């Protein structure tokens, strides 16, 4: 080790030269998602930051070549519940593949047959001029019925909560393209939120998941089953599993007509099987203290899929995920071999083949296929290709820290890393704590060039899966119940200070950053602690009172009932916790990044926050991006945001950056 160090050049942290610039990181932002099979072909969606941030639909042709199904500007992305979800479905028709997809710009469903000469996407659903219009998600194509079944979100007024959601049957012949009345409603709107209906193999029953305000889907949902009548209408639904304190995250049918679902009645999302005819409780298939599902942020997310053999493909794990095959008769799970350490919430099957999306600390997300007949797993799409020498990648460490009252805090620590540079012996590196969004979410341990952008320059990163994160069971995620702005702030601070105390990080050069709920944690940390020298706040929640008063979308409009408490009972808590109410407490410099089209965390909150700081002498920068919503997708936005963040740290930490990075102008 000493000889290796002697071969490196000594240079201060933050000044190391790096081939990973903001443009490179932006070009690799996002990941493939929503895998599926159309006939025997694997299809999925991919991000296109350089094409306005659209999501392209991609297929793997029989000769193994990837090709985009739709040219720009087609954007396969749903806005149902604003976070969207499964936006496409396909089937093998008489003339080849038939795909149905939601187009982002108008939210209409379109049908397209790419192998039919001269075919172009044709609309299946009408436009609406009421509020947010008509939107669709989680489609399933039923060629034998001439329909696609999906969830329809229909705005009935201008307010974000003037909305209803029902399952509908959309004619594939286009007869509903201009006629709302031609959309056949399969369910009523007794429930505020639903997933797409899943039809049993014999066509006699249908199952879906439903829940209502103020619950979020990870709090409690119901699994509903209904008979399908001869005229394709649904009978009266009956609840067969779930409840206010049990979250059913996914439901499917086995090939023999049994219900398969993921529920967390034990405190962990495990798999269950149930005969819908006998009305009994589900039988556990593999009882483990690990997750076989996750939070239902997007309708149509999936963690398991039944195979024709009776086996079940599963994405499972604790704090990380693997792809495995579960034998429901023995409870045994055999995991796929390979370098991947994280599988996303998308899985599809065709015969003995299983497709998913996976990554590792050395590779970004790519489409992976497992052949269950041979046990062989391989990359079949969006293959990871190292854009730089892998010696510049960070070498993360999985850590568990001790927080207040001795509670465990899970984190991933990415020390500064460079193949030819090392810092002086007496210098400790600056560190940035990353708080993930959600807050009911998790930071996976995967290669992220945004992290490498900092670590390769000599700035450490610590991703904190604070109390409230998923992947560690219900008890861990419920630590945040009525404690948002407390537990998350405390856990991030505990990790930052522990790194400083052990000599890993420089106590005087600690920062915090995060987007959405992570932006909230960042802002709350800057208003309630003195741990950090600066922070980067990205499309944040800042004003809780405004949030419950029509200041966000319907899906999360009652989220704070669990995170903070019911508004009428905890009104003072809403004021006390809101960073917007305490901007005068901020003393550390910060950067605030906001999308002007954000309907989840509207720019009014950010504008109020910075207005409160004018003339107070605190250096800050506020950058608002036209055409960006909740989550930046355009390459030019991503580049400017990342370079601005690096410039903030350079100014506050006293770093001598190598390479051209525009100087962020801080005002007071």
**C-alpha distance from residue 100 to each of 146, 181, 591 (Å):** 12, 20, 41
- Provide, rounded to the nearest whole percent, the portion of the chain with pLDDT above 70: 99
State residue 281's pLDDT score.
82
Average pLDDT over residues 40-58: 96
User: What does the pLDDT look like over 91-132, one tens digit per residue?
Assistant: 998 889 999 999 999 999 999 999 988 889 999 999 999 999
Q: In what order do the strands lie in the sheet with 342-350?
A: 342-350, 353-360, 363-371, 376-381
| Residue 1 confidence (pLDDT) above 80 | no
Contacts of 396 (CB under 8 A, 6+ apart): 361, 412, 413, 414, 445
- If phi over 0 gives left and psi between -120 and 50 gives alpha, with beta otherwise, what is residue 456? alpha
- The reply to whether 217 falls in a domain is no
| Residue 4 confidence (pLDDT) above 80 | no
3-state secondary structure of 188: coil
State residue 188's pLDDT score.
95
Alpha-helical segments (H) within 13-150: 22-27
Strand partners, 343: 358
By residue range, what is the domain housing residue 472? 2-23+388-653
Strand partners, 134: 154
Query: Tell me, what DSSP letter sits at residue 24?
Result: H
Lowest mean pLDDT among 6-15, 260-269, 467-476: 6-15
* Separation of alpha carbons 465 and 277, rounded Å: 41
Q: In what order do the strands lie in the sheet with 134-142?
A: 134-142, 147-155, 163-171, 184-185
State how beta strands 510-516 and 363-371 pair.
Answer: unpaired
Q: Would you say 355 and 371 are in contact if contact means Cβ atoms under 8 Å apart?
A: no
The strand ranges marked E within 49-131 are 54-60, 66-68, 88-93, 96-102, 109-112, 122-123
The residue among 239, 185, 238, 246 whose CA lies nearest residue 221 is: 246
Confidence of residue 3 (pLDDT cuts 50, 70, 90): very low
State residue 614's pLDDT score.
87
| Alpha-carbon 263 to chain mean position | 20
* Residue 443: both structure tokens together: 């930071």
Q: Would you say 592 and 608 are in contact if contact means Cβ atoms under 8 Å apart?
A: no
Average pLDDT over residues 351-368: 97
What DSSP string describes 146-173? TEEEEEEEEE-SSSTT-EEEEEEEEETT
Strand partners, 399: 411
| Residue 660 confidence (pLDDT) above 50 | yes
Q: How many CB atoms lie within 10 A of CB 385?
A: 9
Q: How many CB atoms lie within 10 A of CB 8?
A: 13
State residue 181's pLDDT score.
96
User: What does the pLDDT look like over 396-453, one tens digit per residue?
Assistant: 999 999 999 999 999 999 999 999 999 999 999 999 999 999 999 999 999 999 999 9
* Residue 464: both structure tokens together: 């904190």
Average pLDDT over residues 518-537: 98
| Residue 279 confidence (pLDDT) above 80 | no
Residue 426, class by beta-carbon neighbours within 10 Å (0-12 exposed, 13-18 middle, 19+ buried)? exposed
| Alpha-carbon 232 to chain mean position | 34
The domain that holds 622 is classified in CATH as: 3.40.50.1820
- The reply to whether 199 falls in a domain is no
- The reply to whether 330 falls in a domain is no
Domain count, the chain: 1
The residue among 488, 496, 477 whose CA lies nearest residue 401 is: 496
* Separation of alpha carbons 35 and 347, rounded Å: 6
H-run or E-run covering 350:
strand 342-350
Average pLDDT over residues 302-328: 97
Q: Would you say 599 and 553 are in contact if contact means Cβ atoms under 8 Å apart?
A: yes
Strand partners, 450: none
* Separation of alpha carbons 611 and 222, rounded Å: 44
Residue 24, class by beta-carbon neighbours within 10 Å (0-12 exposed, 13-18 middle, 19+ buried)? middle
Terminal-residue alpha carbon distance, the chain: 46
Lowest mean pLDDT among 244-248, 275-279, 314-318, 523-527: 275-279
- The reply to whether 141 falls in a domain is no
| Alpha-carbon 23 to chain mean position | 23
* Separation of alpha carbons 514 and 537, rounded Å: 6
User: What does the pLDDT look like over 567-608, one tens digit per residue?
Assistant: 999 999 999 999 999 999 999 999 999 999 999 999 999 999
- The reply to whether 44 falls in a domain is no
* Separation of alpha carbons 290 and 269, rounded Å: 7
Q: In what order do the strands lie in the sheet with 54-60?
A: 33-38, 41-48, 54-60, 66-68
Q: Would you say 180 and 155 are in contact if contact means Cβ atoms under 8 Å apart?
A: no
In this prediction the pTM is: 0.95
Contacts of 526 (CB under 8 A, 6+ apart): 512, 532, 535, 537, 579, 585, 586, 588, 590
Query: Tell me, what DSSP letter sits at residue 447?
Result: -
* Residue 664: both structure tokens together: 């962020």
State residue 6's pLDDT score.
59
Dmax (CA) of the chain: 79
The mean predicted confidence, pLDDT, of the chain is 96
Confidence of residue 550 (pLDDT cuts 50, 70, 90): confident
- The reply to whether 34 falls in a domain is no
| Residue 139 confidence (pLDDT) above 60 | yes
User: What does the pLDDT look like over 464-521, one tens digit per residue?
Assistant: 999 999 999 999 999 999 999 999 999 999 999 999 999 999 999 999 999 999 999 9
* Separation of alpha carbons 574 and 567, rounded Å: 7
* Separation of alpha carbons 307 and 597, rounded Å: 42
Could you tell me how many residues make up the chain?
668
Q: Would you say 352 and 307 are in contact if contact means Cβ atoms under 8 Å apart?
A: yes
- If phi over 0 gives left and psi between -120 and 50 gives alpha, with beta otherwise, what is residue 84? left
State residue 179's pLDDT score.
97
State residue 152's pLDDT score.
98
Query: Tell me, what DSSP letter sits at residue 307?
Result: -
* Separation of alpha carbons 358 and 369, rounded Å: 10
Torsion sign over Cα 615, 620, 621, 624:
negative
* Separation of alpha carbons 133 and 131, rounded Å: 5
User: What does the pLDDT look like over 29-45, one tens digit per residue?
Assistant: 999 999 999 999 999 99
Residue written as tokens 């194509």?
141
* Residue 381: both structure tokens together: 């799409």
**C-alpha distance from residue 460 to each of 37, 489, 507, 530 (Å):** 41, 19, 12, 19
H-run or E-run covering 651:
helix 635-653
State how beta strands 590-595 and 184-185 pair.
Answer: unpaired
State how beta strands 322-326 and 193-194 pair.
Answer: unpaired
State residue 137's pLDDT score.
98
State residue 276's pLDDT score.
87
3-state secondary structure of 329: coil
Contacts of 15 (CB under 8 A, 6+ apart): 457, 458, 655, 656, 657, 658
- The reply to whether 74 falls in a domain is no
H-run or E-run covering 357:
strand 353-360
- The reply to whether 193 falls in a domain is no
């Amino acid at each position: 080790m000493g000889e290796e160090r002697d071969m490196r050049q000594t240079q201060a942290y933050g000044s190391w030269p790096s081939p990973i610039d903001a443009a490179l990181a932006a070009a690799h932002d996002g990941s493939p998602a929503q895998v599926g099979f159309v006939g025997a072909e694997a299809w999925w969606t991919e991000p296109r930051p350089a094409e306005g941030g659209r999501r392209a639909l991609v297929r793997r042709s029989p000769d193994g070549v990837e090709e985009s199904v739709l040219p720009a500007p087609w954007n396969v992305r749903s806005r149902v519940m604003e976070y969207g979800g499964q936006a496409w479905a396909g089937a093998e028709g008489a003339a080849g593949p038939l795909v149905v997809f939601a187009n982002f710009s108008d939210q209409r469903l379109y049908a397209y047959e790419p192998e039919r000469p001269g075919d172009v996407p044709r609309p299946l659903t009408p436009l609406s001029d009421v509020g947010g219009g008509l939107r669709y998600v989680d489609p399933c194509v039923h060629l034998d019925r001439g329909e696609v079944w999906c969830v329809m979100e229909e705005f009935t007024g201008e307010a974000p909560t003037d909305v209803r959601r029902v399952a509908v049957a959309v004619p594939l012949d286009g007869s509903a393209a201009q006629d709302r009345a031609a959309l056949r409603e399969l369910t009523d709107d007794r429930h505020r939120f639903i997933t797409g209906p899943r039809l049993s193999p014999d066509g006699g029953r249908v199952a879906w998941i439903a829940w209502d305000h103020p619950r979020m889907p990870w709090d409690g949902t119901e699994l509903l089953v209904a008979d399908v009548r001869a005229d394709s209408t649904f009978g009266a639904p009956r609840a067969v599993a779930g409840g206010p304190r049990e979250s059913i995250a996914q439901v499917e049918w086995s090939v023999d007509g049994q219900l398969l679902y993921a529920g967390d009645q034990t405190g962990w999302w495990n798999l269950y099987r149930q005969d819908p005819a006998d009305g009994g409780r589900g039988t556990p298939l593999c009882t483990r203290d690990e997750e076989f599902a996750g939070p239902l942020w997007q309708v149509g997310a999936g963690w398991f899929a039944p195979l024709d053999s009776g086996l079940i493909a599963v994405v499972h794990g604790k704090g990380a995920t693997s792809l495995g095959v579960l034998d429901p008769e023995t409870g045994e799970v055999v995991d796929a071999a390979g370098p991947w350490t994280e599988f996303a919430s998308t899985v599809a099957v065709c015969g003995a083949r299983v497709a998913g999306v996976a990554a590792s600390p050395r590779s970004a997300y790519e489409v992976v296929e497992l052949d269950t007949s041979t046990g062989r797993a391989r990359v079949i799409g969006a293959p990871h290709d190292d854009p730089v020498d892998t010696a510049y990648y960070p070498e993360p460490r999985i850590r568990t820290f001790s927080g207040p009252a001795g509670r465990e805090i899970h984190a991933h620590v990415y020390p500064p890393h460079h193949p030819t540079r090392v810092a002086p012996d007496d210098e400790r590196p600056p560190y940035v704590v990353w708080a993930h969004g959600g807050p009911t979410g998790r930071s996976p341990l995967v290669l992220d060039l945004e992290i490498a952008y900092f670590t390769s320059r000599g700035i450490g990163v610590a991703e904190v899966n604070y109390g409230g994160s998923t992947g560690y069971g219900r008890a861990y995620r419920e630590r945040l119940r009525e404690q948002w702005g407390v537990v998350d702030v405390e856990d991030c601070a505990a990790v930052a200070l522990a790194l400083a105390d052990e000599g890993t990080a420089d106590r005087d050069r600690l920062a915090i950053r995060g987007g959405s709920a992570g932006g909230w944690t960042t802002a709350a940390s800057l208003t309630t602690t003195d741990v950090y020298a600066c922070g980067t706040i990205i499309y944040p929640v800042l004003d809780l009172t405004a949030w419950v008063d029509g200041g966000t979308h319907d899906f999360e409009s009652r989220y704070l009932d669990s995170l903070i408490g019911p508004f009428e009972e905890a009104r003072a808590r809403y004021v006390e916790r809101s960073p917007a109410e305490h901007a005068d407490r901020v003393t550390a410099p910060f950067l605030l990044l906001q999308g002007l089209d954000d309907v989840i965390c509207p720019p009014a909150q950010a504008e109020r926050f910075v207005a409160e700081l004018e003339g107070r002498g605190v250096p800050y920068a506020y950058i608002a991006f036209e055409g960006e919503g909740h989550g930046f997708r355009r390459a030019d936005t991503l580049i400017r945001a990342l370079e601005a963040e690096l410039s903030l740290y350079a100014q506050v930490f006293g770093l001598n950056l190598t390479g051209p990075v525009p100087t962020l102008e801080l005002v007071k």
